[in-house]
Amino acid sequence: MTGPWTRSETSASGQVFEFRLWAALTEQSRGLLHVFLPLADRGVDALVHRLADGVYLPVQAKSRSTLKDGEVHLVIVAESLANDDLLIVSGLLVDGGLGPTALVVTARDFKLLADPGTDQGKPIYSMEFGMRPRSNSRWLPWLIQSERLVERFGVSAAGVEEVVVEPRPQWRSDVGFLGETEVTRRLAEAGDLNLFRAFPDSETAEIAVLHLDSRRVLGLQVKTVDVDRDRPRATVNVYGSSFRPVSNDLFRCRRVAPRRGAVPSGVSAHPVARDSRPCDRRRFWAPVFRLPPGLVGPDPS
């Protein structure tokens, strides 16, 4: 469909902008930026994982589908900007892509430069910027051409050319899906955690967990194994192409009782690269998952 977006389509146009933004970051960085999308809306539209140093960048995307007096007019509720390190990315949604200029600014700087006000008694911040920025615009340092967005995320064009990321083998199993779902369900019970799933799933971390108070982020890779009384230990194989030893990524191993398909409470969480050994023949690493005797109960009947 073509033509201007209508007021009733505002939510849909915002979603289109977000997915075009995530795709642009993935394409421009050649996979060096990895996008995680939230499972619940708690003020952060995505976590962007910079693989070079393991940093997770919280992002809030704001778009407009039309210009007013030749500019994008942006209004943000103050309470959504509590995290000063939040990256606000704003731009124009056009047919088939993004407008030529985008705003990338931290919430800290946005609150310093934007115009404060109120809307129905709620504090807000407002600002505007054009697709052809004026040289005297106070927002000029935070405006960038849309095809160079990755530079504001700490990825240079030269760095993209130098780093070659080996494609990650894709596979999925019913047991693995069971473990991921159970880990997600249990973490979702904590009111101070915000969960994100990878988009796409192309690195070590499959689930990113943001603590809403400390703002610390941990990346999780969930591995699920079948164990019972006769086989109380198992080896978890991890392909080397997706293995990035950083301190804020964890392996989370779960045991399942294969005859019932239930996931008992036994969990082991390890930093990446702990107790692992390379297996050159198939190019994967094999962390050994040992269950303490107290976690191994009788076989399910």
Q: How does DSSP assign 175-211, residue by residue?
A: HHHHHHHHHHHHHHT-TTEEEEEEES--SS-SEEEEE
Residue 301 lies in a domain: no
Residue 244 lies in a domain: yes
pLDDT, residue 235, reads 73
Give me the count of residues in the chain. 301
Reading the block at residue 178, the tokens are: 């069971």
Task: Report how many domains make up the chain.
Answer: 2
Amino acid at 202: S
User: Mind listing the pLDDT tens digit of every residue in the chain (301 residues)?
Assistant: 566 777 777 778 889 999 999 999 999 999 899 999 999 888 899 999 999 999 999 999 999 999 999 999 999 999 999 999 999 999 999 988 999 999 999 999 999 999 999 999 999 999 999 999 888 999 999 999 999 999 999 998 666 655 555 555 544 466 677 777 888 888 888 888 999 988 777 777 888 999 989 999 988 888 777 777 777 777 776 666 556 656 555 555 555 554 444 444 444 555 444 444 444 433 444 444 444 444 444 444 3
**Residue 17 sits in the same domain as residue 144:** yes
Q: Measured between alpha carbons, how far is 106 from 262 in angstroms, rounded to an integer?
A: 44
**Residue 155 sits in the same domain as residue 182:** no
Task: Point out the domain boundary residue: 112, 127, 162.
Answer: 162
Residue 255 lies in a domain: yes
Q: Assess contact for 28 and 221: CB atoms under 8 A.
A: no
Q: How do the residues of the chain divide into helix, strand and coil, expressed in percent and rounded to 5?
A: 25, 40, 40
**Residue 158 sits in the same domain as residue 200:** no
pLDDT, residue 140, reads 96
12: CB partners within 8 A, 6+ apart: 5
Residue 130 lies in a domain: yes
End-to-end CA distance of the chain: 57
Task: Point out the domain boundary residue: 162, 183, 212.
Answer: 162
Would you call 47 helix, strand, or coil by DSSP? strand
Q: Which domain holds residue 280?
A: 174-295
pLDDT, residue 5, reads 75
**Residue 134 sits in the same domain as residue 222:** no
Residue 98 lies in a domain: yes
pLDDT, residue 275, reads 45
Q: Measured between alpha carbons, how far is 31 from 27 in angstroms, rounded to an integer?
A: 7
Residue 167 lies in a domain: no
pLDDT digits (tens, 9 = 90+) for 17-57: 999 999 999 999 998 999 999 998 888 999 999 999 999 99
Residue 2 lies in a domain: no
Task: Point out the domain boundary residue: 132, 162, 192.
Answer: 162
Q: State the CB neighbour count (10 A cutoff) for residue 79.
A: 10
pLDDT, residue 38, reads 93
**Residue 146 sits in the same domain as residue 268:** no
Report residue 176: phi and psi, to 5°. Answer: -65, -40
CATH of the domain at 243: 3.40.1350
Q: Assess contact for 25 and 150: CB atoms under 8 A.
A: yes
CATH of the domain at 102: 3.40.1350.10
Reading the block at residue 80, the tokens are: 């959504």
**Residue 239 sits in the same domain as residue 149:** no
Residue 76 lies in a domain: yes
